[in-house]
Amino acid sequence: MRRRFTVTGGVIGVALTAVLIATAGGVPAFSAEKAAATHHGHTAGPTGTHTTTSTSTGTSTGTGTADSTDGSTDGSAGSTATATVSTGDASDHDMPGMSAAPDYGPNLDPGESDTVSPPVQGIAPDPDFAPGPDVSTHHEFQANCYMSHHAADDPIVYPGMAGKSHMHTFMGSDTTDADTTTGSLRSGGTSCITPGDKSGYWHPSVYDGDRLVTTEYKQTIYYKSGVSDYRTVRAFPQGLRFVVGSPTQTQEEFRNHPGTVEGWECGDSANNFEIPAHCAEGSYLNIRMQAPSCWDGVHLDSADHKSHMAYPVTEGYRKVCPADHPVAVPMIEFKMAFDVSGDMSDVHLSSGTDWSWHYDFFNGWDAPTLAALVEHCIDGGLQCDPRGFDLYKPERGAALDENYELAG
């Protein structure tokens, strides 16, 4: 029989309360040596799975920023931040026992806007484009990032409201907290092996009873093409942020979510929409989820933190961006691995049910670095590692040097 957990006042009740408070107060970050070390090659790909009838709850709302097409700052975006975007419904993030999501009001730096002006235009796909067999079907590069820190913060959903969210595990920027802005992301360090990636990545924390489940491995975040004509993908604009999935979604919504990939996995067990009750000893609990990859070209956030983004649609046999979200951007895929196996009966998410898995992204990339990786790997039809190197096409070179930085 599964143990039941309830979220109260933004912190998980029962035996977890003290642990979460301690974590929010500053559980030591993962090894600084790891975050600073230069690593090469792919991370080993552990796997895992689990099942829970948990009744926990908790979650978030709101943020925005301004900018241009290729990730560079657009001077026209320097208007006063008025946070006028009203698309979507912030209540999508409200969970019983949690603070109500605030009205939309993103964290913005002085002179920063949550819209781009003039609107960014998408690149029309070529209906006759048919890549030959020598072109990779992946069109991607990786970001490899260690877990950084944990806190009951969410600068997108609960901007400026420290401790109001359920517990999150953060990767990327080591400064991410409730007050994070585009500027603050750039001012700190990163747990990613690419120094130019100071984006904020976070997801609900995983617990085994009252023990925080982590991993010593670099986590894998893929940047892919979500559209058929991968040559039309443009780099994210600075300050873009969004939420993928929802802590309030039902199991059916999680199962049928356009970003869901095989649910919870461990060992040779996949397509689980609850965390399995048992995973083979030594295996890892894995979860993958894909983000929408079409942007409306105007808003860097929205009231529900989703409406400014959309998943591609199918026209004939091709995937294209819908007319109201015409700009193809990289499709982010989280592939997370958690070091837990054996008896999984007490393994659960800080956000509640097993199907409450979701994650947040706040773009903090160095614009030229991101643009180089997108152009070389995604637009160039390659299957790249974090350096932008395709092992199967070594003659194409790499986008970054041995230190994961732009040459020169």
Q: Quick one: pLDDT at residue 128?
A: 87
Task: Kindly report, residue by residue over 43-92, the tens digit of the pLDDT.
Answer: 333 333 333 333 333 333 333 333 333 333 333 333 222 233 334 555 45
Contact status, residue 256 vs residue 309, Cβ threshold 8 Å: no
% of residues, the chain, pLDDT over 70: 74
pLDDT band at 139 (very low <50, low <70, confident <90, very high): very high
Domain positions in the chain: 7-396
Q: Three-state secondary structure along the chain?
A: CCCCCCEECCEECCCHHHHHHHHHCCCCCCCHHHHHCCCCCCCCCCCCCCCCCCCCCCCCCCCCCCCCCCCCCCHHHCCCCCCCCCCCCHHHHCCCCCCCCCCCCCCCCCCCCCECCCCCCCCCCCCCCCCCCCCCCCCEEEEEECEEEEECCCCCCCCCCCCCCCCEEEEEECCCCCCCCHHHHHHCCECECCCCECCEEEEECEEECCEEECCCCCEEEEEECCCCCHHHCCCCCCCCEEEEECCCCCHHHHHHCCCEEEEEEECCEEEECCCCCEECCCCCEEEEEECCCEECCCECCCCCCCCCEECCEEECCEEECCCCCCEECCEEEEEEEECCCEECCCEEECCECHHHCEEEEECCECHHHHHHHHHHHHCCCCECCCCCCCCCCHHHCCCCCCCCCCCC
Task: Kindly report, residue by residue over 291-328, the tens digit of the pLDDT.
Answer: 999 999 999 999 999 999 999 999 988 999 999 999 99
Task: Kindly report, residue by residue over 144-191, the tens digit of the pLDDT.
Answer: 999 999 999 999 999 999 999 999 999 999 999 999 999 999 999 999
Query: Average pLDDT, stretch 22-33?
Result: 38
